[in-house]
């Protein structure tokens, strides 16, 4: 008869495996409260998205809402403002990236890529200057868009940086229309 290469597991082998498994379960149970405490609390999650009624925003009017502790500018632009924004060549822009969370990361900073699809008059942007985090003033500056008086950054009516120390266009947050005249930001 040939000698077998396999050895039957003993009771000691079973006890080693069972002890190791129980130790792993215990370590996981001990670590879980520390891992779970890193999740955001309910108050932070409630700020993750907001709904904004934009049906009352008339042409030429802007509103400001707060989202995640930051101001969000929503403007219903005039036909003249849209025309001026469309007339700007991309080569004249310091930042040619759209900075629109709703589009691909490499989308160009055309007026259409910065505005709301299907309602190009409406523009939604996080109202924080990309230079040092100041809050720009609306309908101000050399281009009729936003102006940050702290350091002199000028944004056009599409929220694109045109002049000053700010390195990037104002950010367009993730948003979508959830019904006629109602958008959800976040």
Q: How far apart are CA 57 and CA 121, in angstroms?
A: 11
Of the residues 17, 83, 117, 151, which is catalytic? Answer: 151
Closest CA to 79 of 62, 59, 95, 99: 59
Query: Residue 139: its pLDDT value, please?
Result: 87
Does residue 81 sit in the same domain as residue 146?
yes
Q: Are 114 and 171 in contact (CB under 8 A)?
A: no
Q: How far apart are CA 101 and CA 144, in angstroms?
A: 24
Is residue 151 part of the annotated active site? The answer reads yes
Per-residue pLDDT of the chain (186 residues; tens, 9 = 90+): 556 677 788 888 899 999 999 999 999 999 988 888 888 777 666 667 888 889 889 998 999 999 888 999 999 999 999 999 999 999 999 999 999 888 898 999 898 998 887 888 899 999 998 888 888 988 888 888 899 988 889 999 999 999 999 999 999 999 888 888 888 888
Q: What is the dihedral of CA 165, 77, 83, 72, to 10 degrees?
A: 30
Residue 25 sits in which domain range? Answer: 10-39
Does residue 88 sit in the same domain as residue 131?
yes
Query: Residue 37: its pLDDT value, please?
Result: 86
18 lies in some domain = yes
The structural domain count of the chain equals 2
């Amino acid at each position: 008869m040939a000698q077998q290469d396999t050895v039957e597991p003993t009771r000691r082998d079973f006890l080693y495996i069972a002890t190791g498994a129980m130790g792993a379960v215990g370590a996981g149970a001990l670590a879980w409260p520390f891992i779970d405490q890193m999740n955001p609390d309910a108050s932070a999650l409630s700020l993750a998205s907001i709904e904004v009624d934009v049906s009352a925003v008339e042409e030429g009017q802007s509103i400001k809402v707060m989202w995640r502790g930051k101001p969000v500018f929503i403007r219903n632009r005039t036909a003249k403002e849209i025309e001026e924004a469309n007339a700007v060549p991309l080569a004249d822009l310091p930042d040619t990236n759209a900075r629109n969370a709703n589009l691909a990361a490499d989308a160009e900073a055309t007026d259409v890529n910065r505005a709301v699809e299907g309602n190009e008059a409406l523009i939604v942007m996080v109202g924080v200057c990309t230079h040092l985090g100041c809050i720009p003033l609306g309908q101000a500056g050399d281009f009729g868009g936003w102006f940050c008086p702290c350091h002199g950054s000028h944004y056009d009516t599409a929220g694109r940086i045109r002049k000053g120390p700010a390195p990037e266009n104002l950010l367009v947050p993730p948003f979508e229309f959830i019904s006629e005249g109602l958008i959800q930001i976040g």
